[in-house]
Structure 1
Amino acid sequence: MGSYPTKPEFVSVLADKQVREGDDVDLHCEVNTEGVTAKWEKNGYRLECVEGKHIKRQSGTTVSLKIRNAAKEDEGNYTLNLWNDSGSASCSAMVTVELNQWRTVQWRQDPMITALKNCKISNDNIRELRFLLHGPVGAGKSSTINTIKTIFEGHQFINCLAASDLSGESFTTKYQKYTIGGLPFAFYDVMGIEEDQLKGAHTDDIISALKGHIPNDYEFKPQAPMDEDNRYYISDPTLNDKIHCLVSVLAADRVTLMDNKVIQKMKTIRAEASKLGIPQLVFMTRVDCVCKLTKENVAKIYQSKKIKEKMEECSTRLGVPMNCIFPLKNYHEETKMNEKLNCLMLEAFMQAVHSADDYVKKFSRKDRYVE
């Protein structure tokens, strides 16, 4: 009787690879026996080899795959399956392709902090530039405010309570104002938007806030949005009462899962802001939750295929140009300051400040303002 071959086992397994766009990828491993059958998969499906692109080799106990001139579509999870008459074995490795940097960032925070501290509003009648943050529960509105305050105050700031991932409920129940020391900036936080019409922030309340009708500390009532009969209603708001820039906050790891009703509510608010001429930006948070490359080094955010895909999805779903979307990471688990994280936020915030200042510049005389 003939003897059975040795059951295949890995002496060394495939290793994760992180390469730049245009580089070659080499995946190889060692097995304990020769004469095995090898099959490669990508993301759970049979790898369709392209001549000149994929080179598969088996030499003795070494099995390898070379991917030439790596492009963003080559990123994925590669699995090698081995078998013979005695059994089978498999192992996998993740290939991450760094795109050529497609957006530049100032990676030194001090010049940006200094510029913002020295900022002077173009309209002498405006006391402070006002920014309203809105988005789904748990997207990171309150965490964004905390992060900006942390950057300018030089220590972890946790005064603006953030929504819990476990409860799925917003801590924000009032129209709350947050400032940064003596700087001429004010952030307004609102309840998170929910798909249920009777829960979360009502679109009419957010639109009223944009127009300056809602006072600070007003407590939202989702089932009864503020109207002209409310005793707290500001009937004749000045430009100082109005919002000067609308910031939509979305979580990168939840863009795909966002309910269409929430998206539609955000589009309704954005459409009204457009009618009012209010500039709009998108802060896309939680980038570290969707991209290993960015989680390990946030400075590579604009070389990440996954981040670019999420930005494109965000652009398509919300109807926002790519150059108005800023991927970010807020302080969450960290206890020490991170300059690269700060720089990403400061780049986004500087654009918001410039946009808001351009808006109020249009109304340098009160009689030019038309609601």
Structure 2
Amino acid sequence: MAVTTKLTWNEEACLINQLGNVSLSLLYKSSVHGYSMSDMLQRYTCEGPTITIYFSNSIVGFLMLERNHKQTIWFTLRKKKDIIEMPTLLLNTVLKTTTEELSFLSYCGETIFSVNLKAQLIFLNHMLNAKIRLPVNSCSRANISECEVFRVEGIKDNRGYLKRITEVTQYRNKLLSDLRAYKPYADLVSEIRILLLGPTGSGKSSFFNSVKSVFRGRPTQQAIVGSDSTTSITEQYRIYSIKDGVHRQYLPFMLCDTMGLHDSEGGGLCVDDIPHILKGCVPDRYQFDPCKPITSKHPTYIKSPSLKDRVHCVAYVLDINSIDNLSSTMVAKLKQIHKEVITCGIAHVVLLTKVNNYDEVLQVNFLNVNKSTTSQKQVMNVSKILGIPIFNILIIGNHTSKWESDPEEDILVLSALRQMLRVTDDFLEDLPKEETSNLTPLRSAHQ
């Protein structure tokens, strides 16, 4: 009979995702193989990178690249609302084993963690308890119901990788926290409206799905995504709210999805629809007609839009792999649209999608996207075409066709969203006083 893990599917998926989409093989399970320290050690002494997990009132574990490696990643898996969270901590430790006990010591000899399998008891010192954010009622000593050891396959065998995993997780969580706390400038509007514009198949709907997936804590596909780069799947104007999976409240920004731009005349989004969209005259779920733009006579046309109805930021979405192949017709359309955006004084950025080399794109400190990469040529080309500063050209990937997200990919998506909100705040701050003097500060209508 096959031995299976006590981890739930979601817990195992979270663990695999945080470690860079590795694969796990169960080597030891105490309830099956016995509560003997020698039995456990024999099963993973020569197995290379391993993860050991203890099940008590919480799930606690550690990752070692090899048995005598001095760096270990400590973590806990916990469910918060519908999301599995995995706080992590990188520690330099000394491993000590006896016939009955396994311990990790600090360099000054203080016990950080210990386990006695025969007694089915673990000890965590207060520092480790706090750092991996165990529940406040967790004791330093706890009984365990199970211990499991996994071989980790596909993990990068380099000493800096453990530190990188921890830093990626911490920075991703910081971005999430900052965006959850965001409020539009001076509360002039309750939600920021970000319009996604770009050629068919460039990744507009996928970007919305990516943003929603990060905040929900699991992959979602609310916006339908197609595989055909010549036919637009999106035929309606959609205004999507984003709901936070942790606090279960709507966030103060919305993503507006449009029909894709097409090379041919009479195909894709009609450029003459753009001014009406920017001014907030087009309602949610308006059905686009490539050959006939909306007019003020349309029954759902918003004739007197307020500031909250307007588009506050435009994001041009372009496939990074197709920049060099943009047709002259597409370039002309983009320039025409951008001229209208400039005339309206609306904030704007570029999203270059479908990048694969996250390690190359992200700088070590995550503070900026590294432009001295293979993407530099595409970035410069886009800057030249649209006249947009390089610092507002953002590189991302999308969660298309993935069961689980990638923490580094999440950082790119969240960093791009943060920059959009920053340029939008600049736009709101720069509005003429006559447009804002009569406004009463607003709060989100969803709250």
- Name the TM-score, length of structure 2 as normaliser: 0.55
Query: Could you tell me how far apart the structure 1 residues matched to 2:284 and 2:394 are?
Result: 27
Give, in angstroms, the shift of residue 297 of structure 1.
5.9
Distance 1:150 1:256 in 2: 30
Partner residue, 1:169: 231
Contact 1:130 1:186 in 2 (8 A): yes
Does residue 1:133 correspond to 2:201, yes or no?
A: no
Match of 1:260 among 328, 332, 335: 328
Tell me the equivalent position of 1:180.
242
SS at match of 2:314: strand
Quote how far apart the aligned CAs of 1:197 are. Answer: 1.8
Provide the residue aligned with 1:74 in structure 2: none
Contact 1:194 1:262 survives alignment (8 Å): yes
Alpha-carbon distance, 1:107 to partner: 7.3
Match of 2:313 among 229, 237, 245: 245
Within the candidate set 285, 295, 302, 2:353 is matched to: 285
Cα distance in 1 for residues equivalent to 2:432 and 2:424: 13
Separation (CA, whole Å) in 1 of partners of 2:199 and 2:298: 26
Aligned residue number for residue 81 of structure 1: none
Does the residue aligned with 1:130 lie in a helix, a strand or coil?
strand
Residues 358 and 409, structure 2, Cα contact 8 Å, conserved in 1: no
**d(CA) in 1 for partners of 2:262, 2:371:** 33
- For 2:217, the equivalent position in structure 1 comes to 154
Distance 1:318 1:367, change over 3 A: closer
How big is each residue's C-alpha offset from its partner over 1:245-271, in whole Å with a ceiling of 9 and x where there is no partner? 000000011111111111111111111
User: Contact 2:169–2:407 (CA<8 Å) still a contact in 1?
Assistant: no
1:135–1:192 Cα contact (<8 Å) kept: yes
2:409 match: 341
Cα RMSD, aligned residues only: 2.3
Alignment check: 8 A CA contact 1:298 1:341 kept: no
1:318 to partner: Cα distance? 2.7
Paired amino acid for 1:178: Y
| Aligned partner (choices 366, 376, 387) of residue 319 of structure 1 | 387
- How is 1:76-155 mapped onto 2 (pairs within 5 angstroms)? 108-155=171-218
Matched position secondary structure for 1:306: coil
CA contact (8 A) 1:107 1:340 kept: no
Change (3 A) 1:244 1:367: closer
8 Å contact kept, 1:195–1:259: yes
Deviation at 1:357? 2.2
Secondary structure at the aligned position of 2:370 is classed as helix
Whether the aligned pair in 2 keeps the contact of 1:142 and 1:161 (CA below 8 Å) is yes
Contact 2:361 2:373 in 1 (8 A): no
C-alpha displacement of 1:199: 0.7
Q: Corresponding residue for 2:270?
A: 202
| Per-residue deviation, 1:334 | 2.7
SS of residue in 1 equivalent to 2:182: coil
Residue 162 of structure 1 aligns to which amino acid in structure 2?
Answer: V
Q: CA deviation at 1:172?
A: 0.5
Give the deviation of 1:315 after TM superposition. 1.5
Aligned length: 260
- CA positional deviation for 1:319: 2.6
Q: 1:121 to 1:305 in 2, by over 3 A?
A: closer
> How many angstroms apart in 1 are the aligned matches of 2:307 and 2:186?
10
What SS is found at the alignment partner of 2:178? helix
Q: Counterparts of 2:253 and 2:191 in 1: how far apart (Å)?
A: 5
Give the deviation of 1:230 after TM superposition.
1.7
Q: Distance in 2 between matches of 1:106 and 1:211?
A: 39
1:172-208 per-residue CA deviation (whole Å, 9 max, x = no partner) reads: 0000011111101111000000111201001111221
The whole-number CA distance in structure 2 between the counterparts of 1:168 and 1:107 is: 39
Q: Which runs of 5+ in 2 are unaligned?
A: 1-167, 244-249, 364-368, 438-447
Aligned partner of 2:350: which letter?
V
Counterpart selection for 2:293 from 225, 249, 252: 225
Which residue type is aligned with residue 252 of structure 1?
I
Instruction: Decide which of 344, 349, 365 is 1:276's aligned counterpart.
Output: 344
Deviations 1:23-48 (A, max 9, x none): xxxxxxxxxxxxxxxxxxxxxxxxxx
Residues 205 and 223 in structure 2, CA contact (< 8 A), matched pair in contact too: yes
Distance 1:139 1:160 in 2: 14
How far 1:362 moved relative to its partner?
Answer: 3.6
Aligned mates of 1:367, 1:278 — CA distance in 2 = 14
Tell me the amino acid that sits aligned with residue 169 of structure 1. Answer: T
Contact 1:298–1:340 at 8 Å: present in 2 too?
A: no
* Separation in 1, partners of 2:396, 2:310: 26
The verdict on how the C-alpha distance between 1:310 and 1:332 changes in structure 2, with shifts beyond 3 A counting, is same
| SS state at 2:287 partner | coil
Offset, 1:118: 0.8
Give ranges in structure 1 of 5+ residues lacking alignment.
1-104, 289-293
